[in-house]
Chain A
Amino acid sequence: MTGETMLEVRGVSAGYGGFRALFDVSLEVKPGEAVAVIGPNGAGKTTLLRVISKLIAASAGEIRMEGTSLGSVPPDKVVELGIAHVPENRRLFPRLTVEENLRMGAYAPSARARYRERLDFVYELFPRMRERRNQLAGTMSGGEQQMCAIGRALMSGPKLLLMDEPSAGLAPVIVQQVFKLVERIRAEGYTVLIVEQNVQQVLRVVDRAYLLEVGTIRLSGRSEELLASDEIRQSYLGL
């Protein structure tokens, strides 16, 4: 174990075919922290989360979860190390019911044993999901789908939650609710790494953030520092 660090990303490069989307990216997340990666469209934020979950392979660098290198871990075993990923655009199974989507989140053998308990927990966190448990996930509103996607990730009993733009494509009122949700998830003791373009709002709910531009970390620091920095204020807050 490398002391205090939960997730450690060191010198990671990755891309698609011949195209490189990430260049020598390093970051870390400590237990109990909420950390954001902000940056414009196409910066490589989604790619970064995909590499951490091993949906795509890194071409260089190393990723460690609680000291364990992910290098030799197959993609379908990453979740058993305590990493759950709420993907971009939610990606629910539209023709499965809400409860079947949640069941998929508990697919890993270690999670099945605690299915009931965690289902109750998710339903307590999102009573709306209990009401809609037999509804097809694809027929719900965007905000409800986001709850279901977060619930599905929590069903694996993760330590670290990766969230990819949970507020994207939602009405402004719902966006507020989603950031409240993120705060509640934090309060439940989960460690969070969240990707967002909604810079002003995400910086209010996280401890630290990294600015990713064209595949490179440009800036990092505590949320208050970044909110006050000229670069962020001019480019991302329009002030």
Chain B
Amino acid sequence: MFDIFLLEAVINGVLLGGVLALLALGLNLVFGVIDVVWICYAELVMVGMYTIWWLFVHYGVPLPIAIAAAIALVSLCGVALHQLVIRPVLGTPPINQLLVTGGVLFFMQAAATLAFGVEFRNLGLRMPIVEVSDMFFSFARILAFGTALVGVLVLWLFLTRTYLGTAIRAISQDREIMPLMGVDPRKIYLTTSAIGGGMAGVAASLLALQYDVHPAIGLSFGPITFMICVLGGLGNMAGGFIAAFVFAQFISVGGFYFQIEWGYVLAFAFFIVMMFVKPQGLFSR
């Protein structure tokens, strides 16, 4: 039997999948190239959301400019994270890398609480609802989905069509011989960190349109972003892209049949089962 509400839930799941895919992409790129997991990735997203809120609400900066500034700032944060935190622990056991980036996570949460308090902040925008033959969709979600797809496409073109993008893919396959190609590995790592940060900034601007920002917002998006990356095979960008849509369907359709919280429970349960069945991810390299 055709159920229009189910169809609405599925389409909402696809829209959510686009944003999750974008979130996962930056984390996956950094892991695939530098072999380090940015545990504090969702906190970079938080920095972007606060930047937009602060510029737009406090200083009345036009939204597009606030968004551009946030993307630039988060990109710089990615570079700083690499230079100050990651570089000293490159080549040390992975547990050290997890601990330092985990430390950055708590530092950023605490810093955000000090700077902005624990209140939930929002942009105060009223985004229209779009009605398509008796189904209702949030315009913010449609916008986020479209932007996420464009972001994914631009990144893909960059990685496959340019010298720099090709070097970013090559370095994870053989770092040692990169100088023979005329490539300075340190520059590639910095560029990758800037792009990874930039992706977090783009995700921040899409999320800021839909959600309130608060110091613990990273906990809402961080775990699911990691699970998507792991399910897709850490470092496998195509795998992460598909996994994002799988997760989004669990959340959206599961939420439709039960409650929205149950959607997350189902998604996480699916993840745990998959880790037993295929621990290296659905699409391991």
Contacts and interface: CB of A to CB of B under 8 A. Distances in A.
A112 B179 contact: no
A125 interface: no
Contacts of B180: 53, 55, 79, 84-85, 87
Interface of A: 53-55, 74-80, 84-85, 87, 91, 93-96, 100, 103-108, 111-112, 152, 156
A48 B179 CA distance: 16
Contacts, number: 64
Nearest to A101: B170
Given A55-B176, A112-B163, A105 B181 contact: yes
Counting contact residues on chain B (CB < 8 A from A), the size range is 10 to 19
Q: Which of B166, B176, B181, B183 has the most CB of A within 10 A?
A: B181
Contacts of B134: none
Contact of A91 (B174, B179, B183): B174
Nearest to B164: A107
Question: Which 5 residue pairs spanning A and B have beta carbons closest together?
Answer: A108-B182, A75-B179, A76-B184, A79-B182, A76-B179
A76 B183 contact: yes
A96 B169 contact: yes
A54 B167 contact: no
Contacts of A108: 181-182
B177 interface: yes
A96 B163 CA distance: 13
Given A54-B179, A76-B181, 6 more contacts: A76-B179, A79-B180, A80-B182, A84-B180, A103-B166, A104-B170
Contacts of A105: 181
B55 interface: no
B33 to A, nearest CB: 13
Interface of B: 163, 166-167, 169-170, 173-174, 176-184, 285
A178 to B, nearest CB: 20
B178 A96 contact: no
Contact of A87 (B163, B169, B177, B182): B177
Contact of A77 (B170, B173, B182): B182
A74 B174 contact: no
Contacts of B178: 76
A41 B34 CA distance: 33
A204 to B, nearest CB: 28
Contact of A107 (B174, B176, B183, B285): B183
B184 to A, nearest CB: 4
A156 B182 contact: yes
A50 B73 CA distance: 40
Given A103-B163, A112-B163, A53 B170 contact: no
A170 to B, nearest CB: 20
A53 B179 contact: yes
Given A104-B170, A107-B167, A74 B176 contact: no
Contacts of A96: 166, 169-170, 173
Contacts of A104: 166-167, 170, 181, 183
Nearest to A78: B179
6 contacts: A53-B179, A75-B184, A76-B183, A91-B174, A96-B169, A107-B182
Contacts of B163: 103, 106-107, 112
B277 to A, nearest CB: 25
Contacts of B181: 76, 79, 104-105, 107-108, 152
Contact of B174 (A55, A78, A93): A93
A112 B170 CA distance: 17
A122 to B, nearest CB: 15
Contacts of B184: 74-76
Q: Which of A76, A84, A105 has the most CB of B within 10 A?
A: A76
A79 B182 CA distance: 6
Nearest to A94: B173
A100 B174 CA distance: 14
A105 B285 CA distance: 24
B180 to A, nearest CB: 5
B281 to A, nearest CB: 16
Contact of A100 (B166, B176, B177, B285): B166
Given A100-B166, A104-B167, A107-B163, A95 B173 contact: yes
Contacts of A53: 179-180
